[in-house]
Amino acid sequence: IPIERIRNFSIIAHVDHGKSTLADRLLEFTGAIKENSGQSQILDKLQVEKERGITVKAQSVSLLYNFKGDDYLLNLIDTPGHVDFSSEVCRSLFACQGVILLVDANDGVQAQTVANFFLAFGKDLTIVPVINKIDLKNADPDRVTKQLQFLFDIEPQEVLRISAKLGKGIESVLEAIIERLPCPKVDREAPFRALIFDSWYDKYRGALSLIYVQDGDISVGDEIQSCHTKKVYEIKTVSLLRPQEVAANKLNAGQIGLIGCNMRSSKEAFIGDTIHKSSCIVEALQGFEPPRPMVFAGVYPSDQSQHISLRSAIEKLTLNDSAVSVDVDSSPALGQGWRLGFLGLLHLEVFSQRLQQEYGAEPILTAPSVTYKIKLKPTKQNLKTGEQLIYVNNPALFPDHLLIEEAFEPMVIGTIITPDEYLGPVISLCMERRGIQRSAKNIDNDRVMLQYDLPLCEIIVDFHDTLKTISSGYASFDYEDNGYQSSNLVKLVILLNGVAVEELSNIVHITKAQTVGRKMVLKLRDIIPRQMVQIAVQAVSNGKVLARENIKPYRKDVTAKLYGGDVTRRMKLLAQQAAGKKKMRMVANISLPKETFIDVLKK
C-alpha cells in the first residue's frame, strides 16, 4: 500500500468515555472482526493483553478499509489513558499523524480530556473531535461542542457525533480519518530506521517490540542494531496485528508492526529506542529517555520465610513491566526486602494487586514516598567529592536537619474539572494539600476548570479518592510533572520507648509536622496492643517532641475467664493467640501487628 494511503492514529479520551468500544466498532466495520460477534472491548481481551496484564498500554491494530474504491491501511494505536504513563502516550503519538479526541456527550470535557488534548496539540497532530454516547438520555452534545470550542478553539462543524455502543456514525469517523489526517512523512528509500514504542515479553519468543518504521523497510533475516544498547539482533519474525498476529514478509516505512528477534528479556527492548540495520549508522529518532519512577515504596515479605517466593514474583512481574525500578532494601523491623519505584500511584496499586492476585504474595508495603532533592551543607568531604546534592526516596534515609542546607520536593500541575456546586470543597481540599491556584475558569454555565501547583507527595496517597468523595464523583483530576521546588521539609520520627522506628518515619512540610505527628501518635496508641510494660509513643521532629501518648501495660490472658471448663476450648484459644503472635513484628522490644506500618501511614 502506497504511503499516501496509510493513516496512523490513536483514540484519546478520559477514562470510560468509550475508547475501547469505538475501537471495537472500527474493527467490526472494517471487517477485522465479525459484527455482532458478541465480543466487546476486543482489544482489551486479546491474549497479548492478558499476558501483559492491566498495565498494558498501547494496543495496536492494522485495519484495511476500502474508501471510494481505494484500499487504505489504517493503524489504530491505543494509548494508555492514565497520566502515569504519559511518557508512553508521547511515544505512541510519535507514530501517529492524528488522534480521535473522544468525549462523552453526558459528562463532557474532563481533566484527562484536557491533558490528552494538549499532548496531541503540542505534537502538532491533527485532531478529530468526536462526541460519543449521543444515545444517552441525558446526552447534551451541543453543550459539549461549546466546551470544545471554548477550551480548544475547535470549530463546531468539525465535531462528529456518534454512538459507539449502537454503532451510529462509525463511517463518518473513518471518513474523517482518511480525509482529514495527513499520511505519514517517511522515506522509503532511506536506510531502515524505526522507533520501538511498546514491547512485551513472550514466553517462547522473548521480548517482542512494536515498531513504527520511519525510513526504509525491514524483513525476516535482517540484522538490526539498537541505538541505545548497540546490541545486534537477527529479525526472526515480522508481523502485523489485525488484531491477531499475522505474519508479514516485510514492513515498509509508515507502517506499524511487531518484530521478534530473540531478545531474552523485555529489559532489552527499550521503549523509545531507535533500531536500524547494523550495516549503516543512523541518527536516533528521539532523545532516549527511560521512564522515570516518581513514587517509591518498600516491599517486604510478611514473613521472612516468604522472601524467596516474593523475590521470584517481583522478578517475574518486572520482566513484564520494565518501568518498575527495583533496589534491594532492608529494615530492622521488616527484614530483607525491596524498594520499588513506580511511575505513579496507580502504577504502584496495580503492581501490588498483581503480586497478590497472580502470585498469591501478601507483602507489606510501606507508605509511598516521592524523591526529595537535598542540598547538604558544605563539609570538607562533600565539597571534595562534589556530592552536596543528594536524592532521597526513602524517608528513613532522610538526613538530619543539621546537615541540610536546602530541601526540594517534586511538584505537579494539577487540572481539576468540577461542577461549580462543589467548587468550595474542591478549593479547600487543594489548599489543605498546599496547592497554589494558577487559574480558574468556567468552561460552561456550571462547570469550572481549575489548575493548581501541588506538591506530588500531597496527591499520591488519597487525593483522587477524596476529590471524588467530596464531589459525589463528578470532579475529575489529572496532573503533569513540574520539576522541583524548594520547600521547608522536616523528618517526622516515631519513637517507641525512646527507640526510633525508621519504618514509620515520614517527611512532611513543617506546617504539617504538628498535626501529622499528633495523628500518628494517636493512631499508634490505638493499634499497638497493650504489652507487659508501658509504652511511650512519641513523634519527634528536628529534635523536638511534638506529641506523646502512653500505652498502659496489660497482660492479655485470653483464657482467664475459662477457669476449669472445657480443655479443648482453652487449647484452641491459646493456639489462636500463638498464631496472632506470629504476625507480630518485634520493634524496640515491642510487638507490632504487621498492619501497623500500613495503617498508621494512611491519612
Residue numbers belonging to the annotated binding site: 13-20, 78-82, 132-135
Task: Give SS3 for 463.
Answer: helix
Q: Does 55 bind Mg ion (CB under 5 A)?
A: no
From residue 188 to residue 207, what is the string marking binding to ligand GDP with x (rule CB under 6 A)?
--------------------
Q: Does 165 bind ligand GDP (CB under 6 A)?
A: yes
As given in the structure block, the three cell numbers for residue 544 are 523536638
C-alpha 155 chain-centroid distance: 33
> Do residues 437 and 452 make contact, with C-beta atoms less than 8 angstroms apart?
yes
Question: Pick from 4, 16, 142, 223: which binds ligand GDP (CB under 6 A)?
Answer: 16
Residue with cell 509508515: 254
Smallest separation (angstroms) from ligand GDP to the CB of 544: 49
Return the range that interacts with ligand GDP (CB under 6 A); candidates 19-27, 186-194, 472-480, 555-563. Answer: 19-27
Q: Does 164 bind ligand GDP (CB under 6 A)?
A: yes
The entry of ligand GDP, Mg ion, none that residue 280 binds, CB within 5 to 8 Å by partner kind: none
Return the range that interacts with Mg ion (CB under 5 A); candidates 11-19, 45-53, 63-71, 474-482. Answer: 11-19
Q: What is the DSSP string of 154-194?
A: --GGG-EE-BTTTTBTHHHHHHHHHHHSPPP--BSSSPPEE
Smallest separation (angstroms) from ligand GDP to the CB of 91: 20
The entry of Mg ion, ligand GDP, none that residue 21 binds, CB within 5 to 8 Å by partner kind: ligand GDP
Return the range that interacts with ligand GDP (CB under 6 A); candidates 129-137, 248-256, 321-329, 490-498. Answer: 129-137
- Please enumerate, by residue number, every residue annotated as part of a binding site for GTP: 13-20, 78-82, 132-135
Per DSSP bridges, beta strands 6-13 and 98-104 are parallel
Task: Give SS3 for 46.
Answer: coil
Return the range that interacts with ligand GDP (CB under 6 A); candidates 17-25, 120-128, 352-360, 397-405. Answer: 17-25
Half-sphere exposure of 596 (CA within 13 A, CB side): 27
Smallest separation (angstroms) from ligand GDP to the CB of 221: 38
Question: Pick from 8, 10, 20, 163: which binds Mg ion (CB under 5 A)?
Answer: 20
Give the Å distances, CA to CA, from 534 to 16, 497, 537, 584: 53, 8, 10, 18
Neighbours of 572 (CB within 10 A): 12
Q: Does 132 bind Mg ion (CB under 5 A)?
A: no
Give the Å distances, CA to CA, from 17 to 175, 300, 437: 21, 38, 28
Q: Does 436 bind ligand GDP (CB under 6 A)?
A: no
Using CB atoms within 10 Å of the CB of residue 602, give its burial: 0 to 12 exposed, 13 to 18 middle, 19+ buried.
Answer: exposed
Q: Give per-residue burial for 344-370: e unless 16+ CB within 10 Å, then b.
A: bbbbbebbbebbeeebebebbbbbbbb
Smallest separation (angstroms) from Mg ion to the CB of 20: 3
Q: Give alpha helix (H) positions in 471-546.
A: 510-527
The entry of Mg ion, ligand GDP, none that residue 18 binds, CB within 5 to 8 Å by partner kind: ligand GDP
Return the range that interacts with ligand GDP (CB under 6 A); candidates 10-18, 187-195, 402-410, 564-572. Answer: 10-18
* Nearer CB in complex with ligand GDP: 20/394: 20
Smallest separation (angstroms) from ligand GDP to the CB of 135: 5
* Nearer CB in complex with ligand GDP: 135/405: 135
> Do residues 445 and 400 make contact, with C-beta atoms less than 8 angstroms apart?
no
Q: Which amino acid, one-letter code, is at 214?
A: Q
> Contact positions toward Mg ion, by CB under 5 A?
19-20
> Contact positions toward ligand GDP, by CB under 6 A?
13, 15-21, 41, 132-133, 135-136, 163-165
